[in-house]
Amino acid sequence: MGNFIVTTIRKPNAATENLAMELAEKLGGRFVIREDFSFDALRKIHGAENILLVKKNSLSVVTVEGELFFHPNTAHLRIKNLRGGEGDRLIDALKISTGSKVLDCTLGLGSDAIVESFIAGAAGKVIALEINPLIAEVVSYGLKNFSDDSPHILEAMRRVEVVNADCKDFLKTCADKSFDAVYFDPMFRRPIQKSSGLNPIRPLADSKPLTPEIIREACRVAKFRVVMKEHSGSKEFERLGFKIAGGGKYSSIAFGVIDLAD
C-alpha cells in the first residue's frame, strides 16, 4: 500500500473532517489538515506515496497516476442489457442465476461484482475481496453511499459485501463447496492500452500472479465453476488449467473456465 496520509477537501465540514480522522485511525495512516496545499505539496511535505481524500459524500485515493474514485462504470450498461434480455460474457462464464453465491476474489473498482450481485439478487450473495485497504475502503464506501436513479443498480451495489483480504488467505477459511462460483480478474498486471481510465489504480494493484495453489483452493470452495478473466491469448489460462470460454471473438479479453461438473 505504501506510505499514505488521509486528508480532506480544502474547506471541509465537521463531519468530513471527523470521517477523515476515523479512517486514518482505522487504516493506520496519518490524518493531515488540508489547508491550501496541493496534492504534490502534501506528498513532499509528508513523504507520502498516496493520499486518501475524504470529500463531502465520497472517498478517493490520489496516486501518482491520478485520482481513483468509485463509479459503477460499465455496470450501468451491462445491467441495462441484461434486463433487456441480452447476455453478458462474465455471467455466461460464471453460469450464475438468482440465488447464486459468488466469491469475487478481485474487487478492483467493483463493476463485475455489481453485475454479479444484480444476477444473484436478494436471495443470493456476493462477497468481493480486495487486498489493498485503500481500494477496499473507497469502493466499499461507494457501494454503500453512491446515489443513482436506477433502483436496480442501487440494490445490486448495496448487496455486495466487501472484505479487505488476500484471496489466498481467505479461500483457506472457506468450507468446501461454499460458493457456487469463484471469480478472478488479475488483469491489472499487464494493462490494456485502451484502459487508461484505470491508470490511478495501478500503483495500488496487487501484481502477484495467481498460483496453482490458489486455483486448487478455489476449486475446493466452488460448487460449479471457477472463472478467470485475462488478456486474449494469455498463457495464464493454460498454466493454471483453464479452458477458454466461447464468445467475444474480437475482444481484447477472454474468460477461462474450470467446470467442476466435468
How many Å is the Cα radius of gyration of the chain?
19
Residue indicated by cell numbers 500503483? 203
116-155 residue pLDDT tens: 999 999 999 999 999 999 999 999 999 999 997 789 999 9
CA-wise closest residue to 106 among 188, 38, 191? 188
State whether residue 232 is helix, strand or coil.
coil
With beta carbons less than 8 A apart as the criterion, state whether 162 and 107 touch.
yes
User: Mean pLDDT over residues 84-100, rounded?
Assistant: 96
| Calpha distance 150→148 (Å, rounded) | 5
CATH classification code of 75-259: 3.40.50.150
How distant is the alpha carbon of residue 255 from its chain centre? 17
- pTM for the model stands at 0.91
Rounded to an integer, what distance in angstroms lies between the CA atom of residue 19 and that of residue 52?
11
C-alpha cell at 77: 450498461
Grid coordinates given for 67:
485520482
* Helix, strand, coil percentages in the chain from 3-state DSSP, rounded to 5: 40, 25, 40
Mean pLDDT, rounded, of the chain:
90
- Torsion sign over Cα 185, 259, 127, 240: negative
What is the distance between the alpha carbons of residues 112 and 228, in angstroms, rounded to a whole number? 12
> What pLDDT score was predicted for residue 155?
96
For the chain, which residues make up each domain, given as ranges?
4-56, 75-259
Choose the weakest-confidence range: 120-124, 173-177, 203-207: 203-207
